Amino acid sequence: MTRSPAILQILPALFTGGVERGTLEIAEAQVAAGFRALVASAGGPLVASLEALGARHVTLPLDSKAPWVMWRNAAALATLVKAEGVEIIHARSRAPAWSGLVAARRTGARLVTTYHGSYNENLWGKRLYNSVMARGDRVIAISRHIEALILARHEADPSKVRMIPRGVDPRAFDPGAVSPAQVAALRASWGVPEGRAVIMLPGRITRWKGQEVLVRAMAKLGGDSIALLVGDRDAKQAYARALEAEIAAAGLGDRVRLVGHAADMATALMAADVVVHASTEAEAFGRTVIEAQAMARPVIAADLGGPRETVEEGATGWRVPAGDVDALAEALRYVLALPAVARASIGRAARAAVLARYSTQAMQAATIAVYRELL
């Protein structure tokens, strides 16, 4: 009996993150489209969720950047490709992509890469290392910002590049699915008094995400609004402690709080009156922005990178210069002073824009179309 075509996604590991969530979403689409979905990584807590979708996981040390390990991974991937009849290798990160490129050349499999980040070039040889993400038979750019970077930096063949923005699942991020009681309970668990406006910055606690920009804006804002920094701090404890020290020194201990990871981001976002994106470096896309918009939250975003594409000034949110404390404080003052009906109108427009252009289903369909081009 002829087996259905197999597609192998490769990435470092399956922990929490945007690349990992995207891997599961595309595996789900592969299965639904009749492909055999394989994923190779070093493993992690999302393996069980992946396999529940009908995909198969293969454990390899693809999280290593050691050249000798990458070379062994190439051999292991080539063996897997031959054994499973893999027709397409889809690489989602640089070290695995180098191994996948070698395996594809050895076996005749086609290579797809997803260019997920801006990838700095601050060390000698980094442009060459990064270039593997532009060497696929098809190269998926996750935003127009990244598409332009690929074409300019790597002089890639435009005919091979496909712009497929990341998506949000409107079933998971649905304002109507979150009850007022859930929101009230979460706000209470964070110690937010009833009636106080909440400003939220979702994202892992790391300097370039701009948490300190919001802290300094809060010092200028005045009033009794509360800013919540929602995100995992485990990897950046020193920066988190520095933030807490700055909050205390500014006398903002009752108005700015690091509340840690939120397991239910849909409910967390519904607890916010306005959501802030304050990254000081260009986001490749900025998934937290469209998640907030999908929940019909007013968004103020840094005016660089992906949010330039997802936030239409004055229509689906507002943009301010990155790192500009005064501009952020002024924007917050303006948005919080808007009548509730005006903020709700912006939120509805933002959700409509996400549903029209940035859904998980649209991302899945476009990616399957890329596979079919190569098959």
Is it the case that residue 371 has pLDDT exceeding 70? yes
Give first-to-last CA distance, the chain, whole Å: 19
Q: Which residues contact 242 (CB under 8 A, 6 or more apart)?
A: 212
What does the alpha-carbon distance between residue 67 and residue 65 come to, in Å, rounded to a whole number? 6
Q: What is the per-residue pLDDT across 126-181, written as a single tens digit (0 to 9) for each? A: 889 999 999 999 999 999 999 999 999 998 899 999 999 999 998 899 999 999 99
What pLDDT does 2 receive? 66
Sign of CA dihedral 329, 330, 331, 332: positive
Is it the case that residue 226 has pLDDT exceeding 90? yes
pLDDT, the chain, mean? 94
**Closest to 258 in 3D by CA, of 223, 222, 232:** 232
Helix, strand, coil percentages for the chain (3-state, nearest 5): 50, 15, 35
Q: Phi and psi at residue 194, in whole multiples of 5°?
A: -60, 135
Is it the case that residue 62 has pLDDT exceeding 70? yes
Higher-pLDDT residue of 20 and 2 is 20
| Residue 254: CB atoms within 10 Å | 11
Is it the case that residue 327 has pLDDT exceeding 90? yes
pTM of the model as a whole: 0.89
Which of the listed ranges 1-10, 253-262, 267-276 does the model predict with the highest average pLDDT?
267-276
Report the length, in residues, of the chain: 375
Q: Residue 1 — pLDDT band, cuts 50, 70, 90? A: low
Percent of the chain with pLDDT over 90: 85
SS3 228: strand
Higher-pLDDT residue of 126 and 335 is 335
Q: What is the per-residue pLDDT across 232-254, written as a single tens digit (0 to 9) for each? A: 877 678 999 999 999 999 999 89
What does the alpha-carbon distance between residue 147 and residue 122 come to, in Å, rounded to a whole number? 21
What pLDDT does 124 receive? 82
Q: Which residues contact 77 (CB under 8 A, 6 or more apart)?
A: 8, 10, 40, 60, 89, 99, 100, 102, 103
Domains along the chain with CATH numbers: 6-167+359-374 (3.40.50.2000), 175-357 (3.40.50.2000)
What pLDDT does 263 receive? 87
